[in-house]
Amino acid sequence: MGEWSAPGTPDRIAVRGIRAHAHHGVYDFERERGQMFRVDAVLELDTSAAAAGDDLDRTVNYADLAQQLHRVLTGDPVNLLETLAQQLADVCLANELVDAVEITVHKPEAELGVPFDDVTVSIRRQRR
């Protein structure tokens, strides 16, 4: 293998479309009956050490990450998608290898009173 340096743009690991029936929302009917939510997480990190050593311990195990995000998604209900997105970002940034994360929360079954495809809230958080 050759000697490589990390590129100017960060490496990314993405887990998209984690789905769960959950009870987030402001309205009582949302809390009572729940609805489907989806989450996309795009992590920014340097994967060169993991690649050089073919070592899972030097990167993010995306199977473990998906399980952690699913637990938050199905956990205690919150009113706002913004709050849920922040909780999900916090999980990702708890891994010291992750420099930044973009979280998108989808709420495709929201009741808007008009036809629509999806409602999303996306946030990007990075280490200070």
Res 4: pLDDT:
55
Residues 6+ apart with CB under 8 A from 50: 56, 57, 58, 59
Q: What is the mean pLDDT of the chain?
A: 94
pLDDT, residue 1, reads 46
Q: Which residues contact 41 (CB under 8 A, 6 or more apart)?
A: 14, 15, 16, 18, 65, 69, 88, 92, 101, 102, 103
> What is the set of domains in the chain, with CATH numbers?
11-126 (3.30.1130.10)
Q: Which helix (H) or strand (E) holds 18?
A: strand 11-22
**What pLDDT is stored for residue 128 in this prediction?**
81
Catalytic residue among 107, 112, 121, 126: 107
Residue 5 pLDDT greater than 70, yes or no: no
pLDDT for the residue 15: 98
- Compute the distance between CA of residue 45 and CA of residue 61 in angstroms, rounded to an integer: 12
Q: What is the pLDDT of residues 10-58, one digit of tens each?
A: 999 999 999 999 999 999 999 999 999 999 999 999 999 999 999 999 9
Known active-site residue 107: yes
The rounded distance, in Å, linking the Cα atoms of 31 and 14 is 29
> Residue 114 contacts by C-beta under 8 Å, 6 or more apart in sequence?
none
